Structure 1
Amino acid sequence: MRFRSGKFIPLMLTTTMLITSLLTGCQTTSSSAALSTGTTTAAKVALVDPGYSDRDLAGTWDAEAATKISLNGSSMAVSGSGATASGGTLTITAAGVYVLSGTLTHGQIVVDAADSDKVQLVLDGVSITCPDSAPVYVKQADKVFLTLAGGSKNTVTDGAAYTIPDGEDEPNAAIFSKSDLTINGAGALTVTANYNNGIASKDDLVITDGTITVTAVNDGLRGRDSVAIHDGAFVINAAQGDGIQSNNDEDTEKGWVSIDGGTFDITSGNDGIQAETVLQITDGEVTTKTGGGSANASTDSKGNERPGRGGWDNQTAPAAAEDSADSSDSTASAKGVKAGTAVYVTGGNINIDSSDDSVHSSGDVIISAGTVTLASGDDGIHADSSLVVDGGAIDISQSYEGLEGTNITVNGGNIHITAKDDGINAAGGNDGSAPGGRPGENNDTVENGSDGDSTFIRITGGYVVVNANGDGIDANGSLYVDGGMVLVNGPTNNGNGSLDYDGVAEITGGTIVAAGSSGMAQNFSDSSSQNSLLVAYSSGQKAGTLVTLLDESGKTILSFAPAKDYQSIVISTLKLEQGKTYTLYSGGNAGGKNTDGLYTDGSYSAGTEVVSVTLSGAATSISDTGAQITTMGGPGRGGPKGGPMPAHNQGIGGS
């Protein structure tokens, strides 16, 4: 890829797989080649370097050499060279610095210079209104710097209808540039775009400072080739479009968005931030609400699922304003952040309330740092290809499915998931948004778990808490746990299981406790190197009823209070040894620290003994009577064999 500065920033991602499909550049599609699940390596991902120049960042100008323009109602006065005024139109034809002040009630600022000229417009307390075209219109220049003078307040307002020559569709924004556009300086800018877009560049749009408020009928900020934001304070209301968009779908080196600082309050009818290729967030405070928010999910007024379950396309999308021919997105969506190739989060604080997916990539999603807080009417985080979490804090308070991708790797981070269906899902799902399931958006070739090498979930570290109505962890392939702490609450119905896999489920390290229904309960595979225990209860257990496993000496192995009703429990930890006897208790009191229902560093006052068991293999599965039961070691269909009756006969919720 050719970056603006000719450089890239390597992001080191320590994964426990050879990620052959992760991007090394910005391409429009992401390969979904088979991924090895047994090789440990470090993958380099090339982040876009926005290449902010010194002049981009400075926001200063040479006042003595500047041409000064005084706006006076419907006329203007020019002091200096390079600009001429005719009626209500100011035309700038040469490189230089132009300082504007005053009010223009019916007019336009036009830059029409040589394509090698750099022009700086300094707004020092202006109010510009043009009822029939773009108030600020850059027809030609090499680059334009729109500088907001420190302490100044500036407004730009257009009308609801433009007068445009036949056969043309531009300009289409209140501030419109056919050339590279940089906005800098410490002043304030308020843009009211009654016709279409707020601020748009046909090339690169760079913003490095300023207090910017945009209210637009369609998109708030648009840079066709790229959008790079270094700092500033933004309030964006894009009623029928995207908050921020880069939409070049003809050049694979372009169409990217980089958020590297600033504060954002985005309300949009469609996507909050959309990139045709890569969308990266390295810093900043991003708050966005899209499509009316998660309350506008695919459920009816009574909370009943609509057809398609969670697919935002089943709703009536806002009718977007007629846009220019360069629009890349013919299908409306209301995702929080959306990219065609990859979403990278390496820092910042992100808060999304979306009616559609909160974080969506038609390629990969990689999160290595930052705080991500999501409430989604569909998926919390969705990747058509690989979804990798290396670090950061992720809190998904509402979703249809929490994490979804063709393959999912969790190497670190603190993750909390609440889901109406599956908590973590690899290449499957019932909402129509699974890889291979949403027309026109999914590019991978794996169909809902048909390729076990490509479809898997691997957890090597981190802290993961799942509260799911569907499967807690659903691999639709194979499941690997090599480390970390995993707590699963749910499901309560027998059509799903706390663990669900079609291939193998191998655990080699870490701690996992999964409480859920018994009808589809699965234990880990016998090929695991770490031991695990599954106990299926004869009757349902109430939410909050303590589950405690003690060793032969009475020492607590694990004590957990599930957040939901349950009828089976899976426990695996390095402390479990074959040939040793363990006793499972129900109820009682646990001391120490309680974190998400897991008690640590405290004593246990015994409740009711449920069962004692001597581990004889890597995966031990018994009923609460001590009888051995057989759980499905492959596809999770049918529940325990030789164990308790399905829960709809035992009072824990039917299938």
Structure 2
Amino acid sequence: MRRRLIPLALPLALAGLVLAGCAVTAQPGATTSSASESSVTSTTETIAEVDSTIPAAAAELLSANADGTVVRDDEWNLADAETITLSGTTASSDSAGVTVDGSTVTVTAAGVYRLTGTLDGQVVVAAPDDAQVVLVLDGAEIENVSGSAIQVVTADDVAISLAAGSTNSVTATSSADADASAAIYADSDLTVSGSGSLTVTDTGNDGISATDDLAIIGGTITVDAADDALRGKDSLVVKDGTLTLTAGGDALKSDQEDDATRGYVWIAGGTIDATAADDGIDAWTDAVITGGTVSLATEDDGIHSETALAIAGGDVTITRSYEGIESADIRIAGGVARITSSDDGVNASGNTASTDGGMGGGGMQDSGETLTVSGGTLVVDADGDGLDSNGTIEMTGGDVTVFGPTAQNNGTLDSNGGITVTGGTLVAIGSTGMAESPDESSGQGWLAATVSGSAGSTVQITDAAGTVIAEYTATKTFGSVVFSSSAITDGQAYTLTVDGASTSVTAGEAVAGGMGGGMGGRR
């Protein structure tokens, strides 16, 4: 059973998501010493303190999830670091918290450790369950051809910090069947931070993986993985850094199936350039984007979540996908999103309320999914349905441009439960076969027309006085146009001109179309 989300009216100051070091409980903004040998500290931050500008549509989802964990760079001191010198098939260190057995280096105590040099072997963290361990990579090259290169067996929180100006690499051949199934594998919370660079390669399975929370808060990180590039089982949070990801599976993933408050992905900042054979972002529960710059090229979904998906900030470009974004509850509340897909651009689907068969496995009845647009800019170029919901589509704000399919078996706008527009600007340019327009009960005026054009055609809308209300350039062949904005008044006459050919239309009147009752068929 899916969890009940906290109402949108919840004050942000009471939001429950916390980014915190697990070893210590502290008041927001406070700093407390942990039981670590290196005086590592920990703080907690509520959503409001992290970013008070997060729109309610996204803050609601974040506040319904469990606390996340991060170890920040200002919570430990590099001066406390003890050095581990890597030397080919062995290593050396004066630290009592380090043992070396052949090519295996084991950290056994809490603290800060600086790793430098080259190792053909493995670095293992086997510290007490309450320990906080920081591994500072400072010109470190670690390679293991028979398993994970860095493995956290036991600890509470572990951080991998990339020293300023340093270049580091971790190379491995892990196995999905092994206890440690990634080049960097942590059976704990894991934070990657710093300002240096790190290249991670795993020819067997995942790149960087944590069984608890994985947080990326800095560094220039390149990952090339046979399966998933970044995987935090309980959560995956990106707040900063420059990430270049190549994945044979998903690029960014969280897949905790046993707790409805975990298994989420939150992109709050940073720059991401990801190429994936499966999904770009894959969340078992929620996928939330509130900041950063994200470019995704995928063979499956650009962004996928099983429960809810929100874009409320940042800049998202999906250059290639099967379906652009998919979830049962989709919220576009801010930022800029550009989506290119070979099937549906935005697809609200996944509820199981309807099982009667038919198209999409659920017939044409409303099965409860929701697609809402309240802010931001959304541009969709889809070969399948442009905006598609097995339930409803609602627009209260924002700026949406949809270049829909050329084939007649898909629609630029497609809903089972109806389309309502009360604010924002919407233009949908595509085929006629399954064309649909907003409900007659929509609070904002809209117009629909059957007109023909091709890629490069100019679509212009003028009012009775000849004033240009809007103008668009089509990206492909089309046969219909739907437009809604605050400048349109129901019952008034407008002129829609395509490459000099004009058509008179009356706002609020649907044009006969194809399946689903045609444009305006939801009455």
Alignment of 1:506-545 (within 5 A): 506-536=420-450, 540-545=452-457
Q: Which residue of 2 aligns with 1:138?
A: 125
Match of 1:226 among 186, 203, 213: 213
The reply on whether 1:129 has 2:123 as its aligned counterpart is no
The reply on whether 1:391 has 2:303 as its aligned counterpart is no
Q: Which residue of 2 aligns with 1:553?
A: 465
Q: Which residue of 1 aligns with 2:508?
A: 619
Amino acid at match of 1:348: G
Match of 1:183 among 160, 177, 180: 160
Q: CA deviation at 1:219?
A: 1.6
The reply on whether 1:207 has 2:192 as its aligned counterpart is yes
Match of 1:401 among 328, 344, 351: 344
Q: Contact (CA 8 Å) 1:551, 1:583: kept in 2 or not?
A: yes
Q: Which residue of 1 aligns with 2:260?
A: none
Larger Rg: 1
Cα distance in 1, alignment partners of residues 338 and 104 from structure 2: 47
Amino acid at match of 1:214: V
Q: Give unmatched runs, 5+ long, in structure 1.
A: 28-47, 91-105, 162-171, 248-254, 292-333, 406-426, 428-433, 438-445, 589-607, 623-629, 642-655
Alignment of 1:318-467 (within 5 A): 334-383=278-327, 385-405=328-348, 427=349, 434-436=350-352, 450-451=365-366, 454-467=368-381
Q: Contact (CA 8 Å) 1:344, 1:365: kept in 2 or not?
A: yes
Q: CA deviation at 1:285?
A: 1.6
Q: CA deviation at 1:51?
A: 4.2
Cα distance in 2, alignment partners of residues 109 and 143 from structure 1: 17
Q: Which residue of 2 aligns with 1:280?
A: 266
Q: Contact (CA 8 Å) 1:520, 1:640: kept in 2 or not?
A: no
Q: Which residue of 2 aligns with 1:652?
A: none
Give CA deviations for 1:591-610 in whole Å, capped at 9, x if unaligned: xxxxxxxxxxxxxxxxx444
Seq. identity, %: 27
Alignment of 1:185-334 (within 5 A): 185-186=162-163, 187-196=166-175, 197-209=182-194, 210-216=196-202, 217-239=204-226, 241-247=227-233, 255-276=234-255, 277-291=263-277, 334=278
Q: Which residue of 1 aligns with 2:78?
A: 59
Match of 1:25 among 33, 47, 64: 64
Q: CA deviation at 1:543?
A: 4.2
SS of 1:220's partner is: strand
Cα distance in 2, alignment partners of residues 512 and 505 from structure 1: 12
The reply on whether 1:636 has 2:516 as its aligned counterpart is yes
Distance 1:56 1:266, change over 3 A: farther
Q: CA deviation at 1:282?
A: 1.4
Cα distance in 1, alignment partners of residues 481 and 86 from structure 2: 74
Q: Which residue of 2 aligns with 1:120?
A: 112
Q: Which residue of 2 aligns with 1:492?
A: 406
Distance 1:207 1:451, change over 3 A: same
Q: How many residues align?
A: 455
Q: Contact (CA 8 Å) 1:145, 1:182: kept in 2 or not?
A: yes
SS of 1:636's partner is: helix
Q: Which residue of 2 aligns with 1:568?
A: 480
Amino acid at match of 1:9: I
Amino acid at match of 2:47: I
Q: Give unmatched runs, 5+ long, in structure 2.
A: 1-15, 26-43, 176-181, 256-262, 354-360
Q: Contact (CA 8 Å) 1:490, 1:565: kept in 2 or not?
A: no
Q: CA deviation at 1:494?
A: 3.0
Q: Contact (CA 8 Å) 2:275, 2:296: kept in 1 or not?
A: yes
Q: CA deviation at 1:272?
A: 1.4
Cα distance in 2, alignment partners of residues 493 and 49 from structure 1: 45
Match of 1:159 among 145, 160, 180: 145
SS of 2:270's partner is: strand
Amino acid at match of 2:161: N
Q: CA deviation at 1:79?
A: 5.1
Q: Contact (CA 8 Å) 1:121, 1:144: kept in 2 or not?
A: no
Q: CA deviation at 1:14?
A: 4.5
Distance 1:222 1:510, change over 3 A: closer
Alignment of 1:605-616 (within 5 A): 608-611=501-504, 615=506
Q: TM-score, normalised on structure 1?
A: 0.61
Q: Contact (CA 8 Å) 1:347, 1:371: kept in 2 or not?
A: yes
Q: Contact (CA 8 Å) 1:175, 1:200: kept in 2 or not?
A: yes
Cα distance in 2, alignment partners of residues 402 and 176 from structure 1: 40
Cα distance in 1, alignment partners of residues 312 and 437 from structure 2: 30
Give CA deviations for 1:586-631 in whole Å, capped at 9, x if unaligned: 433xxxxxxxxxxxxxxxxxxx4444x6x4xx62246xxxxxxx56
Cα distance in 2, alignment partners of residues 637 and 530 from structure 1: 21
Give CA deviations for 1:329-367 in whole Å, capped at 9, x if unaligned: xxxxx2222221212222111222222212121221122
Cα distance in 2, alignment partners of residues 219 and 269 from structure 1: 9
Cα distance in 2, alignment partners of residues 568 and 71 from structure 1: 66
Q: Please give the root-mean-square deviation of Cα atoms over the aligned residues, in Å.
A: 3.7
Q: CA deviation at 1:390?
A: 1.6
Cα distance in 2, alignment partners of residues 521 and 82 from structure 1: 68
Q: TM-score, normalised on structure 2?
A: 0.74
Cα distance in 1, alignment partners of residues 319 and 378 from structure 2: 17
Amino acid at match of 1:178: T
Q: CA deviation at 1:386?
A: 1.6
Q: CA deviation at 1:82?
A: 5.9
Distance 1:242 1:138, change over 3 A: same
Q: Contact (CA 8 Å) 2:309, 2:331: kept in 1 or not?
A: yes
